Amino acid sequence: MEVEGGSKRKQITKKRRDIDIEKANQLMKKSKSSNKEAAKSADKEVIVVNEKRSNDDDDDDDDNDDDDESKTEDHKKPEVFQSKSNLEIVAWLVDHPEILRLALEMNNTDVTISSSSKITDDKIRLWDESVKYLFLRARSPRGEVFDELITKIFKIKIHSNEAKSYLEKTRKFFIDFRNKFNQIILTSVEEFKEIRKNRASTGSLSQKELIDYVDEEFVQKILSRQLVAVNISELTRNGGFNTLVDFVRETFKVS
């Protein structure tokens, strides 16, 4: 009986130990599950907080951008309008139509001046080219030729102050062109005399010497200032350049 009683006590003790182990395992599982849920919950809270912070930062950036734009707009405004919104400025202009009308007139005037300035520049460029071309055709044209040149290009009356100013400039241009042309011819003649002297050439200048020295390159050089106003290829095709060469050679010969 004692043996049987001792065996039963051992079995009961073993069952209790097994039950305690099973409970402990269940508690550990619950604890792990609880910890995982807590961690997930914590992660969610962190994400929410971060999202909230990100949204707050974006809002701050937007506010800063708005502030920067507002500052830029204010900086462009006149000092008296710094504290006014665009709508308030428009309302003020409506109450002061004379200011608005003046602003529109000034804006239109700027466009007109710019267009007028371009037209004037084009006319002056045409006048400059025409004066140079005219010198190639005639070194001492009649006064009527100058008058016609000015009136046709600038569309002004010949007795106006503006026309008189352009006439004076045109005459000065021609005087300057002639003086420099004559000076270059005289200098070239002296240089050629030295060349003939070094060659021990005597007697009158031969036609061959003249043609060889005063060639097309020589003519282009001394008339380079005026030739920029014409198409040399076209001038050569129509025989105009040959006429210039003959003229320069004749001037060189008699100088």
pLDDT tens-digit readout, 35-47: 455 445 444 444 4
Task: Tell me the average pLDDT across 171-180.
Answer: 94
pLDDT score of 48: 40
Q: Is the pLDDT of residue 248 over 80?
A: yes
pLDDT score of 89: 76
The region of weakest confidence among 37-51, 88-102, 188-202 is 37-51
Q: Is the pLDDT of residue 53 over 90?
A: no
Q: Is the pLDDT of residue 27 over 60?
A: no
Domain boundaries, the chain: 10-59, 99-254
Task: Tell me the average pLDDT across 147-175.
Answer: 93
pLDDT score of 24: 46
Q: Is the pLDDT of residue 208 over 70?
A: yes
Residue that wins the pLDDT comparison between 217 and 201: 217
pTM (2 d.p.): 0.55
**Average pLDDT along the chain:** 76
pLDDT tens-digit readout, 55-84: 555 555 555 555 555 555 555 667 767 777
Q: How confident is the model at residue 92 (pLDDT cuts 50, 70, 90)?
A: confident
User: Which of 4-18, 26-40, 181-195 has the highest mean predicted lDDT (pLDDT)?
Assistant: 181-195
pLDDT score of 127: 94
- What's the chain look like in SS3? CHHHHHHHHHHHHHHHHHHHHHHHHHHHHHHHHHHHHHHHHHHHHHHHHHHHHHHHHHHHHHHHHHHHHHHHHHHHCCHHHCCCCHHHHHHHHHHCHHHHHHHHHHHHHHHHHHHHHHHHHHHHHHHHHHHHHHHHHCCCCCHHHHHHHHHHHHCCCCCCHHHHHHHHHHHHHHHHHHHHHHHHHHHHHHHHHHHHHHCCCCCCCCHHHHHHHCCHHHHHHHCHHHHCCCCHHHHHHCCHHHHHHHHHHHHHHHC
pLDDT score of 83: 77
Residue that wins the pLDDT comparison between 37 and 237: 237
Q: How confident is the model at residue 202 (pLDDT cuts 50, 70, 90)?
A: confident
